[in-house]
Amino acid sequence: MAWHIARQPGGLVALAIQYGHLRTVLDTDVASGYGTRSRRGIHDLIDIETAISTAETAADLHERYNRGEGASGPAARQALNQASTIRRFEDTAVKADFARKYLARDGTVLYDNPHALLLCRYKRDLALCERSASSTTPALDRCVTGCANTVRTDHHAQQLRDRADSLASRALNLPQPIADRLLVTAGQLRNLADTHDRTRITCQEART
Ligand code: SF4
């Protein structure tokens, strides 16, 4: 189940939402039907799948950058540096203890957030979504625009424009107050994409 959640469309957003739900569900009433070992087991699986997914996200960023895509955002340079040395877990059995330590490396783990159309280089004291001292993962489903942990690629900029176009097209068939709200959101998405275009760094520029 954890593998499925981590890899379905929506990726880690779904995982984050589901993860919170799972923890809540497993730690409270419904858990009364489960043993402690069962609860630990599902938490272990989710930690392992989260660690593998974040490593895949970093590897994907590294590949995109080396293929010539640009990256922007306050955390872009750090994320690119970290992604260039990321360890891949292909053909490696990842243990739960290792996964938890891997995910606890504050400021170095890169989460995909397709809901917000960005990557999150999670550094706890910079996070606008979650400031709890005990939190070791971002609240991806409560992402806040302008967070210093944000990274965007050219692919995200294109997705922002696609989403803006979709909203604008839906607005054509809706009553004015609702249409206006959608058009405002579409404009905000296009602004984010334009900001990416103006501030993106590329591998070619970094080498010159
Ligand atoms: S608000 Fe910041 S830390 Fe939280 S998910 Fe968004 S980018 Fe990550």
Residues 11-47: tens digit of each pLDDT: 555 555 555 544 444 444 444 444 555 556 777 888 8
Q: Once rounded to an integer, what is the mean pLDDT over residues 146-161?
A: 97
Could you tell me the distance, in angstroms and rounded to a whole number, from the CA of residue 37 to the centre of ligand 1? 32
Report how far ligand 1's centroid is from the alpha carbon of 201 (Å).
Answer: 21
Please state, for a pLDDT cut of 70, what percent of the chain lies above it. 79
Domain ranges of the chain: 2-155, 156-201
Angle at 177 between CA 172 and CA 178, to 5 degrees: 60
Residue of 106, 111, 125, 143 best suited for mutating to test ligand 1, as the one with most atoms within 8 Å of CB: 143
Who lines ligand 1 at CB under 6 A? 113, 120, 122, 127-129, 138-140, 143-144, 147, 149-150
Mean pLDDT of the chain: 84
pTM of the model: 0.83
Task: Look at residue 145 in the predicted model and tell me its pLDDT.
Answer: 94
Residue closest to 147 by CA, chosen among 74, 201, 200, 83: 74
**Helix boundaries (H) for 67-175:** 76-83, 96-103, 154-171
Burial of 130: CB neighbours in 10 Å, binned 0-12, 13-18, 19+: middle
